[in-house]
Structure 1
Amino acid sequence: MRIFVWLFRAFIFFALFAFALNNSQEATVRWFFGHEWRAPMVIIVLLAFGCGAALGVLAMVPAWWKHRRVAQRGGDIAPAVSDAPTPTEVQTPSGVRDGL
């Protein structure tokens, strides 16, 4: 099984490497007010991915802090179990019998 994991990782690496080689031409990013930035397309894609990953991590920080605080207190994060009756506690309407 471990060999399959390493083969999968190698495949991903070579696929991304081929993507980088195929997209080495220069691209232009046009900003506001006439500013533009020229760089290889692979650098632009890498920066866009990195910025998206960083924003995702930053968006998760408050939730991580909350979970950390609750874990340090020894509490439970999950909401309390509802007071809904269990299937054995459910009563049938009057006049209705099972099996008849």
Structure 2
Amino acid sequence: MRYLVWILRLVIFVIVLLFALKNTAPVDVGLFADHVLSQVPLIVVMLAAFVLGVAFGLLMAATSMLRRRREINRLRRELARVQDALDHPQAASAPVIPETVAPLAPL
């Protein structure tokens, strides 16, 4: 299985390398405020777009992961509190009469 993964990685690397070698033509990149970068290789532009996309995707995923991590920690604390309550039950000093908790309505 490990060899299959390495072969797959090698094939993907070769395909990306051939793609990069075929896309070396210089292009003009227009930025904000009429600023133009001239004669930039197309593969550099594509690589920059890919890196920015990956960074943005990781940023979006990080917020979701942090939210889940907080929820997991909250649930672990609650589980520990309930487990502690089950392990050490409180001894009732006096029996609770239902009328003292909520008065019953007359029939």
Report TM bin, short chain. Answer: 0.5 to 0.7
Structure 2: how far apart are the matches of 1:59 and 1:5?
28
Residue 33 of structure 1 deviates from its aligned partner by 2.8
Matches within 5 A, 1:81-100: none
Residue 4 of structure 1: how far off its partner (Å): 1.7
Q: Which runs of 4 or more aligned residues in structure 1 lie more than 6 Å from their structure 2 counterparts after TM superposition?
A: none
Counterpart residue number, 2:15: 15
TM-score, normalised relative to structure 1: 0.67
Unaligned ranges ≥5, structure 1: 76-100
Distance of 1:72 and 1:32 partners within structure 2: 44
Q: Matched residues in 2 for 1:6 and 1:18: separation?
A: 18
Larger radius of gyration: 2
Secondary structure at the counterpart of residue 24 of structure 1:
coil
- How far apart in 1 are the matches of 2:6 and 2:62? 31
Q: Which structure shows the higher helix fraction?
A: 2
Sequence identity percentage: 33
The code of the aligned residue for 2:21 comes to L
1:45 match: 46
Task: For 2:66 and 2:2, locate their aligned partners in 1 and report how far apart those are by CA, in whole Å.
Answer: 35
- Structure 2 distance, partners of 1:65, 1:41, is 36
Matched residues in 2 for 1:62 and 1:4: separation? Answer: 34
How many residue pairs get aligned? The number is: 75
In the alignment, which residue of structure 2 is the partner of 1:84? Answer: none
Q: Alignment partner of 2:28: what SS?
A: strand
Q: CA deviation at 1:20?
A: 0.9
Q: With structure 2 as the length reference, what TM-score do the two structures score?
A: 0.63
* Alignment correspondent of 1:32: 32
